[in-house]
Structure 1
């Protein structure tokens, strides 16, 4: 599979990778800014939550693979895109009763894009298939975890009473490495991987699919309040 890196570089030019990153950053920033509005944050809080949500996962990815300084600190577009999303939300956010729906949809879109971008970039930098999946997952969920922590919420990733969140990202990342393994990685299959993660997350929210808890669980711990 050594030739896959060369194939990857041919299929995913720097401009394509950059565009994919910016689209994912915008989607995640929208979800972070919408959550800030729901939490009644001021304009600075909206901007901070948008930046952290958008850049947190990618920053972690770049530090792990040694792509330093991280793209978030070398590309002005990475910094300005979340601010643009925050500005749009500040003036054009939906009615209060619809904000949660917007958070979920934009977060799902970012999840799909980032699990694919994180996995492919990790492999490009020489990580194995398993490590690439793991880093793709971390890229996708890292910003959301930071967002929830700053908003004083238990991260959705850790809550048993939340619909599947990490699993869709894992499916998208795993699809990418399977395509790499079978020399089928191309823009079309990458798009399908992102759409699979996005669709699975939306279906999980629609039908409330959740991961199982411990077998024969005896704990009487109460559900975490919203």
Structure 2
């Protein structure tokens, strides 16, 4: 299989994405007062969930999470780190959001690239980039008994930054301009958009002319 560029770079970007997503999952487990097993479970689900879904869809089986020791161990390291060194309770929510945004930016890029390398067209590759970026967060929220941020109107936009980052990668591939610098910029674009959404409260619109009398759920 032809790689768009150095596979070692992609590997370490995957590791970085797994780590920051696992940190966000472990921090949410701390906020939910989970025990050490719950912290490790949420860290692993958040770090590996999106990549597992992507690999199964594109036929990269067994998934990298089960064939690369680094992928498997990284969430556990993140869980240990959070278990002993998590910030003060009042700072946990902010930390979860920052690490989640970083993982979103990294995984929308690496997910799009890997899907394209396995023969998918650019639109489908970008869609799997979104799934890679959002899948772990959705699984984390479900396991923590929360409505996923991806689906909540009362939360800042979550999917849009990943869509923008993944689409930027697809465009760079189409133009033949994908390299470590432009890929880093695409990841930074998704990351910054998510942070701006959190800072300024950007939300996606709800249904046009919505007149439901049902109470909004927080």
Task: State the Cα deviation string for residues 141-192 of structure 1 (Å, max 9, x = none).
Answer: 0000000000000000000000010000000000000011111111111100
Measure the CA separation in 2 of the matches of 1:212 and 1:18: 36
| Alignment correspondent of 1:112 | 105
Alignment of 1:32-43 (within 5 A): 32-43=25-36
Match of 1:183 among 172, 176, 179: 176
Gaps of 5+ in 1: none
Aligned match of 2:64 = 71
Aligned partners of 2:45 and 2:109: how far apart in 1? 19
1: CA distance, partners of 2:216 / 2:153: 8
- The 5-angstrom pairing of residues 20-169 of structure 1 reads 20-169=13-162
Mapped to 1, the partners of 2:4 and 2:93 lie a distance apart of 40
Instruction: Give distance in 2, aligned partners of 1:222 and 1:86.
Output: 37
Conserved? CA contact 2:115–2:128, under 8 Å: yes
TM-score, normalization: structure 1?
0.95
Task: Please provide the CA RMSD for this pair.
Answer: 1.0
Distance in 2, matches of 1:123 and 1:72, equals 19
Aligned mates of 1:163, 1:219 — CA distance in 2: 22
Runs of 4+ residues over 2 Å off in structure 1: 220-225
Other-structure match for 1:200: 193
Shift of 1:17: 1.2
Inter-partner Cα distance in structure 1 for 2:165 and 2:196: 14
Query: Is there any run of 5+ residues in structure 2 with no aligned partner, and where?
Result: none
Number of residue equivalences: 218
- Relative to the length of structure 2, the TM-score reads 0.98
